Structure 1
Amino acid sequence: MSVNKEIKRVTTNTLQEMKQRGERISMLTAYDYSMATIVDAAGTDIILVGDSASNVMAGHETTLPITLDQMIYHASSVVRAAKRALVIVDLPFGSYQGNSKEALNSAIRIMKEAGAHGVKIEGGVEIAESVTRILTAGIPVMGHLGLTPQSIYKFGTYTVRAKEEQEAQKLREDALKLQELGCFGIVLEKIPAQLAKEVAESVSIPIIGIGAGKYCDGQVLVIHDMLGLNKGFKPRFLRQYADLYTVMSDAIKNYIDDVKSRDFPNEKEQY
């Protein structure tokens, strides 16, 4: 007789315990039901519904164009699939900057309409008021420091951040501030590994890295990059675990050939 073992949901508390015992945290993006089902069933700890959907799902050059309504659509699809993973959703550009009341309303919509488990927000001290306001409503907040893609036009480049001491020091201070405010974790993107190590050791909350070296408490990658669905995108920090672009392309070409040659459908494939 098969025993239906109840799946235990990952929570912010689970992540805290994982950091304390030195267990690494796995995090991947997903934007739709089918992909999220696979990501969740494989045992991923956190699913991030990233504003990277703007790039990989909608074909925009930056993450800026995606709207709150679109993020809620993607997030609700993912939430329906996730049985175990903690589902965190990016607050998109323009839905929280400079207005903490709007930030709270945006976060509430994501939690209510998508059923998400928390939100992620880019920035440090300058968004402290928004973070506080969202947390006051009982909504878990994850920070994001280093290369913050929503500020890409300010940076003017996607190169490594915080190589200079002044920017590195601000990042250290921002991380401590986000912890002090009550964030349950922070993503560090594209910063020197040694700086990420310092930050991970200086705070008690989990630090998730992307292009931030091996000393973080966990790692995150965009699922399309990691599975090789994006042809030609190969930054140094990316380890490609599959070449699905080729697999899918070959399958589609074979299908086209079979249709053209009248091999598909055959006798067994019709009624």
Structure 2
Amino acid sequence: MSVAKKQYKRITVKSLTEMKSHGEKISMLTAYDYTMAKIIDSAGIDVLLVGDSASNVMAGHETTLPITLDQMIYHASSVVRGVERALVVVDLPFGSYQSDPKEALRSAIRIMKESGGHSVKLEGGREVKESIKRILHAGIPVMGHLGLTPQSIYKFGTYTVRAKEEAEAEKLIEDAQALERWGCFALVLEKVPAALAQKVAEQLTIPVIGIGAGSGVDGQVLVSHDMFGMTHEFNPRFLRRYLNLYEDMGNAVGQYVKDVKSVDFPNDEEQY
């Protein structure tokens, strides 16, 4: 049975809670620059995540760890200028919140003031409790992130599915419940078993957004460069490529080079 969608002129954290309560799935993609943000926002996306995945897809790093707070603010500022409808969530980068709650608050405040973003996201559960609480007490909306947490990749040693074992699954459920209790407005679950993700989504009143977490959650997020097929080396099971821009853009560049070399471009109509 289809669900009638409420028309939102602007998506807020309250909008996402309403969408969950009405059974409407939430759509979320990453963006790192003005042009991409403008395209994705105008197409009707609900949430734009300025992810620390910019470290990978924009800068070519192997992990998300190298990206700095200043760089995240630069990307987020660019995205905000291209958005009219979507809620903009900005990742707090590695090292900006884990060890010192005061530093976490300073980092979140800088993102909000200097980028114009609408909220922040950070990874972890009980181990970052004080940082989350301090940010929330300042009135800054926080999205949580559990399961595979890429900023902890050297701790895990692999990007494999998380929480397959009972003990880790129980901890994930407890952390998810705590994040809601502390006041987070939503939660991302990354690469966890679909049954576990659905169980978490059913237990929480806040929206649960999945990436590699099955269809039983309240919404989905993908890295836009992966979804558009601009990358081609990354092929996880959860990724659906809606375009093949890597090949299309390569072909276009090849044709441009050919046309320039043969003096086919510019033609008479393309000159002054």
When normalised by structure 2's length, the TM-score is 0.97
Q: Residues 156 and 228 (structure 1 numbering): CA distance in 2 closer, same or farther, change over 3 Å?
A: same
- Corresponding residue for residue 47 of structure 2: 46
Asked if 1:65 is matched to 2:66, the reply is yes
Q: How far does residue 237 in structure 1 lie from its aligned partner after superposition?
A: 0.4
- Corresponding residue for residue 111 of structure 1: 112
Opposite residue 36 of structure 2, the aligned amino acid is: M
Opposite residue 126 of structure 1, the aligned amino acid is: E
Q: Residues 246 and 140 (structure 1 numbering): CA distance in 2 closer, same or farther, change over 3 Å?
A: same
Q: How far does residue 202 in structure 1 lie from its aligned partner after superposition?
A: 0.7
Superposed, which structure 2 residues align to 1:102-141 within 5 Å? 102-141=103-142
Asked if 1:247 is matched to 2:255, the reply is no
List per-residue Cα deviations over 1:93-116 (Å, max 9, x = no partner).
Answer: 000001000000000000000000
Asked if 1:149 is matched to 2:150, the reply is yes
Q: How far does residue 77 in structure 1 lie from its aligned partner after superposition?
A: 0.2
For structure 2, the 5+ residue unaligned runs are 1-6
Q: How far does residue 7 in structure 1 lie from its aligned partner after superposition?
A: 7.2
Q: Distance in 2 between matches of 1:17 and 1:268?
A: 53
Q: Distance in 1 between matches of 2:36 and 2:93?
A: 21
Asked if 1:9 is matched to 2:10, the reply is yes
When normalised by structure 1's length, the TM-score is 0.97
Q: Distance in 1 between matches of 2:208 and 2:118?
A: 18
Superposed, which structure 2 residues align to 1:70-219 within 5 Å? 70-219=71-220
Q: How far does residue 232 in structure 1 lie from its aligned partner after superposition?
A: 2.4
**RMSD of Structure 2 on Structure 1 (CA):** 0.9
Give secondary structure in 1 for the equivalent of 2:122: strand
Opposite residue 12 of structure 1, the aligned amino acid is: V
Q: How far does residue 269 in structure 1 lie from its aligned partner after superposition?
A: 1.1
List per-residue Cα deviations over 1:224-259 (Å, max 9, x = no partner).
Answer: 000000012111000110001111111100000000
Q: Distance in 1 between matches of 2:94 and 2:8?
A: 34
Q: Distance in 1 between matches of 2:172 and 2:219?
A: 18
List per-residue Cα deviations over 1:105-131 (Å, max 9, x = no partner).
Answer: 000000000000000000001101000
- Corresponding residue for residue 3 of structure 1: none
Opposite residue 167 of structure 1, the aligned amino acid is: E
Q: Distance in 2 between matches of 1:7 and 1:217?
A: 17
Q: Distance in 2 between matches of 1:269 and 1:198?
A: 59
Select between 261-270 and 6-15 the one with higher mean Cα deviation. 6-15
Q: How far does residue 270 in structure 1 lie from its aligned partner after superposition?
A: 1.1
Give secondary structure in 2 for the equivalent of 1:188: strand
For structure 1, the 5+ residue unaligned runs are 1-5
Structure 1 segments of 4+ aligned residues over 3 angstroms from their partners: none
Opposite residue 182 of structure 1, the aligned amino acid is: G
Q: Distance in 2 between matches of 1:8 and 1:105?
A: 31
Q: Distance in 2 between matches of 1:193 and 1:179?
A: 20
Q: Distance in 1 between matches of 2:131 and 2:26?
A: 26
Q: Residues 159 and 33 (structure 1 numbering): CA distance in 2 closer, same or farther, change over 3 Å?
A: same
List per-residue Cα deviations over 1:168-221 (Å, max 9, x = no partner).
Answer: 000000000000000000000000000001100111000000000000100000
Q: Distance in 2 between matches of 1:263 and 1:52?
A: 39
Q: Distance in 1 between matches of 2:242 and 2:214?
A: 18
Are the equivalent residues in 2 in contact too, given 1:7–1:83 (CA < 8 A)?
no
Opposite residue 161 of structure 1, the aligned amino acid is: R
List per-residue Cα deviations over 1:4-35 (Å, max 9, x = no partner).
Answer: xx971100000000000110000000000000
Q: Distance in 1 between matches of 2:41 and 2:202?
A: 29
